[in-house]
Structures are given as structure tokens and as C-alpha cells.
Amino acid sequence: MSNCRFASAFKTLEHWLKYQLHAQEHFTLWYAAEDSQFVRFNQGKVRQAYPVLQIELTVRLILGERHASARINLSGEFEQDTAQLGQTLTQLRGILDVLPADPYLLLNTELWTSERQVPGRVPELQQVIDSICGLSQGLDMVGIYAAGTLYRGFANSWGARGWHECANALFDWSLFDASGEAVKSTYGSADWDAQVLSDLFEKAREQLHHLSTPRISLKPGQYRAYLAPAALDEVLSMLSYDAFSAKAFANRQSALQQLHLGQQQLSPLVNLREQPSSGFEPGFGHDGAPRQDVDLIRAGQLVGQLVNSRSQAEYSLQANGADQQEMPHTLVMAPGELATADVLRELGTGLYISNLWYLNYSDVGSARLTGMTRFATFWVENGQIIAPIETMRFDDSVYDMLGTHLLALTREQALCIDSGTYERRGLDSHVLPGALLEHLTLTL
Amino acid sequence: MMSRAQSSLRRFMQTCAHWPDFVSLRLVEQQSRTLAVTRNVIEPPSLRNECGVMVCVHVDGQQAFAATSDITLPGLQQALERAQQTAKALRGNGLVQHPIANNQGIRAHYRSPELDLPLPDTADWLALLMETSRQVPNDPRLVHWSARLRVVQEQQLYLDNQGAEILRSQQQLFPEIGVNAFDGQHSQRRTYQVAQQGSANIVTHTGFLDEARRVADQALQLLLAPNTPQGQRDVLLMPDQMILQIHESIGHPLELDRILGDERNYAGTSFVTPDMFGHYRYGSDLLNVSFDPNVTGELVSYSHDDEGLHAEKQLLIRQGILQRPMGGALSQARSALPGVANSRACNWNRAPIDRMANLNIEPGDQSMSQLIGSIEHGILMATNRSWSIDDARNKFQFGCEWGQLIKNGELGAVVKNPNYRGISSQFWRKLSAVGDASTNAIMGTPNCGKGEPNQAVTVGHASPACVFSHLDVFGGQA
């Protein structure tokens, strides 16, 4: 399907559906489609390659205060898709017949339109494979290339309509040396530039050279540490699951519950904002609410939470465009004063951590996290990189890492693009500084 | 009954029957229904009706795929052409020459147990969930609870131009209960989950209703309990924690594609190396681990994997000695190691890779009272709530919802926030007792993540309760 066919197919379905409604019925539609190319690499060669054409439509049928939804795959062919959508409507009507009124249904019936198209220049498959395999000559490279156009659409029977379309390419890869040390890199762009990729490869190759020194084995204990933006991204991604959700606060499941209750605080250096206005995500959500920028933490204090329409109705809060899970998708942490160029000098002796991995809670109530170092983590002495370290486990509370033990944030922020592709390619991104910590506790 | 999509797929395969190149088509039609009652309020139900096809071709020894949700004949034709173009684009840059599977003449139809028994309708399911929710007592400290059910019905049809035709009809049910207790300062959560193939009996015959009361009571007990004391103890892991332990520190390290390096950029590698198979001591003599696709009702029982390889039981670890990894036909050819039929894809839109399917610990000979009675200074831990392990699947830290101290062979006080740490390559050698069949539970997980592009699959695990000696145990901060 061509780009314009996705948009017109969605519009045609929306139009068709309006005429299928029975009296007093309403609908919302969420459309997510992609025409993607995935290429998976190992040892600098192609391990697996395939395009994916997938169209998903989520229809919610509403009758009074009763509602239910269904997600279906579409073919893009009108006759087939309307037949399927018709069957789905029948199925949903059967469910509505047995449902009581939902006390927490809150509908957004405002009339709005939104359209954003971000054109991109994605290279031909042959060119990508030749280019990446060429750059990988003599290197043990493993990674994933994902590219193509993503489509998101919303419509409802009250007339609101949104369309979001963006083309981009993302290459996420690691270079390994013979001892298993690795450097991880990411290149994502709407306007693919082979020269930029080549430069990044060269930089990673140089970094890999620094890892050739034999690993140092550290004992458990507390170490001064610097978390590069990608490592801090892992911490915030873990918190993103439910720590900022209005529902999780109300249910006492949020990891930041003690911050919410005023029993703990973070460092005054921490300012965190969910900022969809600057991200890659569409400006509208699944339920038709425009997504809003929301201050979450200001000078270490919790000042906001993510509230969807259901939480508004259930907990008497003001909705701010959060999705069903009330998860942030475009977090921005304000920068600090530390120049990135001065990080090693300010670190002095301690750990330079490029990436963290596999975080989870040791104790949710006290926001205590555990996880592993991964990819290019170094021991530093007197501002000089000495050697990579053996993989180590940390275990520390967020109230220490981003609270009492936080010394500085870097002046420069980095864009951390989510390379996740569960079910479909994502559009999440975080903009974060690096963080210098007085202590990080290593346990194993 | 054959669906329209299946008829369409068969017609299309007829057009590929005499092609010189290998072609396979894998159609997935999945219907699922998620129902929930939260604090005695019915949540809006959600359905999923997914359908799509993955085409696989081999051109000059290069394998490529193309996935499409357009299952019309022109849509399938276009996907076939895109797969061929992708294979040609590899032009000497492919990592491996792909062997052609010998699937000639395979005809199979796997069906979940009790598939013919009718399922309750939505109204009946919601009534059951409401009744379950109402079992939670009226206590102001119980601030949140829910009873949920997901029912998944999936038909997968695999066809290839060697004549293979493999149909898989699965029905999986995922009932669960969760209760949060809060004392004004701290909270505790207790859950109950089942994940099996079969009929409504999975819900109605497992005492789902009664579990709500137990889960709520235990959440309140945890609220009053002290933290788990720090130190070395013998640990009795119940099956609902054992499944996580097996999954992370046996299952993932034995996936052959990880050992071959495919996952190094994402899910990670493995501390296991190819030279270890046949002699490496993975655990104590008591450790017997099987890949078993034939366990009735286990979540991922099937007859063939997603590339048509016949699935049969294999011991991966026998009396503590590592025998074979989990790798499908391609990984077996790449590594010259034996494997199992575990090439699996999460859905129609992802290509198969090496995954766990049913990975089990074989029961031993100790009753529950013998297991507890054998422990002088220990702790029982149940129900996983936290997991973290390094990218080589070696250094781990796991946490549970429920802890109970064991002293001089007797169960004692309840403790909260029980955690333990270890290293896979040493941990299984500390296995000191294995429960008998009466302690065994068939369980599973709906979301095991791996692969690039990412794939979340269901995995089955069955395990008895097991005892490990001298583990590092600790609690929370508050």
C-alpha cells in the first residue's frame, strides 16, 4: 500500500462505520499501521531479514454508559475489511447486551482535528545491507535495522479526527571484541545519511579499542559512579511502568509512593517532564484526548502524575491525555551544570557506566532497584579510564541514586530513542542528561 | 471447520506447489477476550481478532521472510514477491546457508485438551469474576483488588511446497487475582495466577473463587510481617517461584541462538559454551530438566514447532550433567549440536527463532513435609515478584511475594519482601532436595521477551518444590 492509501483507507472505514451504527451508538477508532523492513545482523552478516506489512484497527463501541473494544487486523482491501469490521460490531453488540453501565466511563466528545506528516528518506534494502555489511568488515557486529513508515490514526463518531505519519530508520548495534567486551551504538533518523553512520561506526571502533585492556574485578561495596544518559534511561524506563500513573498512586502500587506521600524526596537537581509536544508520538491518544505536556517532578518534588479519562472519573482528578496504562512516552529531564567533557575529571576515581540492564525492584515500597552493568563500563582512577570491569549487580534506592547521592547532572542532554519492537515499532523517546553519583551500591 | 483464511492459504500454496525454491506459509488466526472485575466493578471487555501470514522462501541458499495482514490472494502474492526480493538482496551477505527442512508428507493436527467442551459466554465469565472479586473481605486496608481472565483461541496452519500441512488448534486460559494491602505507610501485593491449555475447567476446577480469600488474607498478613532477615539460609522454593528460576537460569542460557551470538545486542549471550554439552556439571545429581511438548494442559504443548520439526521430549540436563541445548533445525545445523523442536514465533508478524516451549524440572521423591522437615535454618519463598539477571544469564537476584521462616524442620513466622541472590553456574549445584509429584505444579508465563525485532511468547514450566542450601537471602528496607 502506498502512504496515501493508508490514510484514505482509514477515512473510508471511518465513513463506512458511521452508517453502520444503530440508534444512540457511538464509536472510537484507533488505527496503527506500519510497512517496515527488519534486518537482523550477527557477525557482521545478515541473520534474518523481512518486511512486515501490518494494519491494526481498534474499535470501541459505546452505547449509553456501556462500552467494549476489539482490535483486529486489516488487509487494506475494502470489501474484506468492512466484512470483518461488520462481524466485529456484531460481536461487540453481543457483549454490550450483557454489560452493566460503567461508572468510570468518561467520553471526550470535543470536535478536533490533527494532522502531522513527517516525510523521511529511508534507504533501499539493498543499499542498507551492502553499506552495513561493508562497514562491519573485520568487526564482530550484531544488531537490528528497522525502517519504514509508521501510521497512527484516531476518529470518533462525534467527528474528532487525527492522523500521524512518520518515516524513519533506526539501526541499533554492538561491536564485540574477542574477549566479549562490547560497545553499543544507535543511529536513528528520518533522513538516513550513510556518512553519519560511517562516522558512528568509526567512533564505536575506536571505543572498542579502549576495551582491549583486561577486565578488572570489583568487590561488592559503594563506588562513586557516573551514569551516562543511556544508563539513566534504563532507570527512568523502569520507573515509567507505573511510577507516574494516577491509578498506581491510588492503588498504592507506584514505586514512588513515598515521594507521593511526602515521606521521601529526590535531589533538587531533578526536574522531569512528560513532553509529548517534542517527541515522535502523535499528539493524540487512543481515547481521543489530546496529549499534554506534564511536569512530573520539579526540584525533587512530585508535582504531577499521568491521568487518563478513566482515572479522572474514578479518582476525581483532571485528565491530561495519558494513555490507558498512564505511562510516559517522551520524558525530558532538565540538564545540570556539569560539562560532559569534565565528567571523567569530576568522577575522579570510580565507575563510568555506559549502560545498565535488566532492572527490577528489590523493594517497590522504597523504590529500591537492582540491575546489571552492561556494555562499556569502566573503572576510572584520577580522571583516567583504567580498564573495563567484570559485569556487576547494583542495588540502590531511587531516593539515593537521584536523591541524596546525586552530585550533578550534565549540561548536555542525549536523545535516547526506544528501539523496542514488541508487536510493532514504537515511537517513544527520552531526552536525558548524564548523572554523577556520590555512591552506587554494588552487591554481586 | 476450515476458516476462509485457511482456504485462501491452501489455494495460494497450490500455486507454489511446483516451484523449484522452497516456500512455506504460516497463517495465524487468534481470537482473545480479556475480562476483568476490579473492586467489584466490571471493566470494559476487550477483544482481539488477529490474522496474518508469514511467508518464508529459500533462494540460492538464502532464507528470507515477508509478513502481511493482507491475506487476500493478491496480498499473499505480494508478500511472496517481497520475500524473494529480500532473499536476493542478501547477495553473499547472509550469515548462514539455510538447510531445507525435510517436511515431506507431514500431516498433523494438534488440539488442546478438552477443546470440544463449550466455553461459558461473556455473561457467565463476568458473573464468576464478580463472585470472585466479592470474596475479598471488606477491610479498609485492602485498597485494591481485581479478578481477571484472558482466553486465547489460536489456530495456526503451516503449509509448505514439500506437502507439509500442520494445523495447531490451541486454547489457553489465564485467570488471575491480585490484591493490594496498605497500612497508611507501606503496601504489599499478593497474587494468584494460572496459565494452561484446556477448557473452562482450568478456572472452575482450580478453586479460583476460594483463592481470592486466601490471597487477600495473605496480603494482610504480609502487611503485619517483619522484613526477611539478611543472611545465609536454606531456601525452599515453591513451584510458582521455581518456574521463574528455571526460566531465567536454565531456559535462557540453554537457548542455542544465544550461545551462537544472535542475541548479543539485546537479550544477551550465555555463560554456557558449545563445548560444555555432554559433560558439564550444571547442577547436583538431583537435577533433571526436560523439554517436554507432550504434557497435557501445559501452556506450550504442541506436535511440531513453527518450521515443521516434530516435537518430542528430551532431557536437557540428566542427573546434573548438561546434555543438549534448545535449538531448532537451523541452530542445530549451525552448531553441529543436537537440539529440540523449539523454533517459534510469537505471532504471524515475526520469524521463528529459538525459544523455550515447555521446560520442566522432573519430580524427585520428597513430600512437602519431608522437604520442610529437612531444613534446620531456612525460609520458604513463594510467587515471583521481581527478577533480574545479567546478560550471560549468570548473576541473578530474584524476589518473591511471600516468605515464611523455617526453623528446625517446622514452618514459622511470615516475613515480607523475601529476596535471594546467586550465580547460575553455582546455584543449581546447591540443589539439595526435589519434591515429589504431589508438590509438582504445571504453570507458565504469557510474556517471555527476546529477539530482534522483539517477540513476546508464552512459555510453559512445570516444577516440584525444591530446596537449595546456603543461599544469600535478604529483605526490603522498610
Residue where a domain stops, chosen among A210, A235, A268: A210
d(CA B128, nearest CA chain A) in Å: 14
Residue where a domain stops, chosen among A168, A186, A210: A210
Cell 539515593 belongs to A400
- The CA distances from residue B477 to B51, B76, B120, in Å, are 48, 57, 45
- Pair A245, A333 in one domain: yes
Going by C-beta distance under 8 Å and a sequence separation of 6 or more, which residues neighbour residue A55? A6, A9, A31, A32, A33, A73, A74, A75, A76, B69, B70
Q: What angle do CA A204, A201, A371 make, to 5 degrees?
A: 40
Mutation site, B53, B76, B307, B397, interface A, largest A CB count within 10 A: B397
Cα A322 off chain centre by: 14
Mutation site, B7, B153, B190, B349, interface A, largest A CB count within 10 A: B349
What's the mean per-residue pLDDT of chain B? 96
Contact assignment for A71 to B454 by CB distance below 8 Å: no
Q: Which residues of A touch B260 (CB under 8 A)?
A: 42
Q: Which residues of A touch B264 (CB under 8 A)?
A: 42, 142, 174, 176, 182
- Pair A180, A293 in one domain: no
> Closest Cα to residue A173, out of A145, A209, A198?
A145
- The cell numbers describing B316, all together, are 536437557
pLDDT, mean of residues B179-189: 95
Q: Is residue A369 part of a domain?
A: yes
pLDDT, mean of residues A312-337: 96
Domain residue limits at A70: 3-210
- Pair A311, A342 in one domain: yes
Contact assignment for A50 to B86 by CB distance below 8 Å: yes
| Alpha carbons B56 and B141: distance in angstroms, whole number | 55
Q: Is residue A116 part of a domain?
A: yes
Q: What is the DSSP string of B325-372?
A: -B--HHHHHHHT----S-EE-SSTTS--EE---BEEEPP-SB-HHHHH
pLDDT confidence band for B404 (50 / 70 / 90):
very high
> Closest Cα to residue B360, out of B284, B433, B292, B272?
B292
Beta bridge partners of A361: A369
Q: What angle do CA A405, A410, A414 make, to 5 degrees?
A: 120
Residue where a domain stops, chosen among A210, A244, A265: A210
Contact assignment for B49 to A257 by CB distance below 8 Å: no
| Alpha carbons B415 and B188: distance in angstroms, whole number | 11
- Pair A306, A401 in one domain: yes
Helices B4-16 and B73-90: angle between axes, nearest 10 degrees:
50
- Pair A181, A286 in one domain: no
pLDDT confidence band for B478 (50 / 70 / 90):
very low
Q: Is the pLDDT of residue B425 over 60?
A: yes
Q: Is the pLDDT of residue A436 over 90?
A: yes
Cell 535495522 belongs to A145
Please give the backbone phi and psi of residue B382, each rounded to the nearest 5 degrees, phi first: -140, 145
Q: Is residue A215 part of a domain?
A: no
Quote the pLDDT of residue A1.
61
CB A302 within 8 A of CB A259: yes
- Pair A348, A251 in one domain: yes
| pLDDT per residue as tens digits for the range B187-218 | 999 999 999 999 999 998 878 988 999 999 99
| pLDDT per residue as tens digits for the range B80-111 | 999 999 999 998 899 998 887 788 889 999 99
| pLDDT per residue as tens digits for the range B48-66 | 999 999 999 999 889 999 9
| pLDDT per residue as tens digits for the range B333-346 | 999 999 999 999 99
Across the interface, which of B64, B180, B185 has its CB nearest the CB of A50?
Answer: B64
Q: B13-20, long-range: CB within 8 Å, 24+ apart, which pairs?
A: B13/B159, B13/B160, B13/B161, B16/B80, B16/B161, B17/B161, B18/B161, B19/B161
Quote the pLDDT of residue B99.
80
Our CA dihedral for B396, B402, B408, B409, rounded to 10 degrees, sits at -100
- Pair A131, A196 in one domain: yes
Contact assignment for A46 to B93 by CB distance below 8 Å: yes
Residue A95: give its domain's CATH number: 3.30.2290.10
Q: Is residue A276 part of a domain?
A: yes
Mutation site, A106, A140, A252, interface B, largest B CB count within 10 A: A252
Q: What angle do CA B12, B18, B22 make, to 5 degrees?
A: 80
Contact residues, A window 67-106, toward B, CB-based 8 Å cutoff? 67-77, 80, 84, 88, 91-92, 94-95, 98-100, 102-105
Contact assignment for A422 to B395 by CB distance below 8 Å: no
d(CA A126, nearest CA chain B) in Å: 5
ipTM associated with this complex: 0.95
| Alpha carbons B37 and B131: distance in angstroms, whole number | 9
Interface residue A12 vs chain B (CB under 8 A)? no
Collapsing DSSP states into helix, strand and coil, what is residue B133? helix
Q: Which domains does chain B have, with CATH numbers?
A: 4-181+192-216 (3.30.2290.10), 231-474 (no CATH)
Beta strand residue intervals within B8-139, DSSP E: 23-38, 41-42, 46-59, 62-68, 107-111
Q: What is the DSSP string of B257-298?
A: HHHTTTTTTTT---S--GGGTTT-B-S-TT--EEE-TT-TT-
Tally of domains within chain A: 2
Q: Is the pLDDT of residue B316 over 60?
A: yes
Pairing of strands B343-344, B353-354: antiparallel
| Alpha carbons A229 and A410: distance in angstroms, whole number | 9
CB A418 within 8 A of CB A426: yes
pLDDT, mean of residues A40-44: 98
Q: What is the DSSP string of A288-355?
A: SPBP--EEEEETTEE---B--HHHHHHHT----S--TT---SSEEEPP-SB-GGGHHHHH-SEEEEEE
CB B460 within 8 A of CB B301: yes
Cα A261 off chain centre by: 27
- Pair A262, A184 in one domain: no
Q: Is the pLDDT of residue A207 over 90?
A: no
Quote the pLDDT of residue A281.
87
Percent of chain B with pLDDT over 70: 100
pLDDT, mean of residues A175-204: 93
- Pair A304, A397 in one domain: yes
Cα B392 off chain centre by: 19
Quote the pLDDT of residue A229.
97
| pLDDT per residue as tens digits for the range A211-242 | 888 999 999 999 999 999 999 999 999 999 99
pLDDT, mean of residues A180-185: 92
| pLDDT per residue as tens digits for the range A125-167 | 999 999 999 999 999 999 999 999 999 999 999 999 999 999 9
- Pair A379, A298 in one domain: yes
Q: Is residue A46 part of a domain?
A: yes
Q: Is the pLDDT of residue B2 over 80?
A: no
- Pair A152, A238 in one domain: no
- The cell numbers describing B143, all together, are 485498597
Q: Is residue A216 part of a domain?
A: no
- Pair A111, A259 in one domain: no
Q: Is the pLDDT of residue B362 over 80?
A: yes
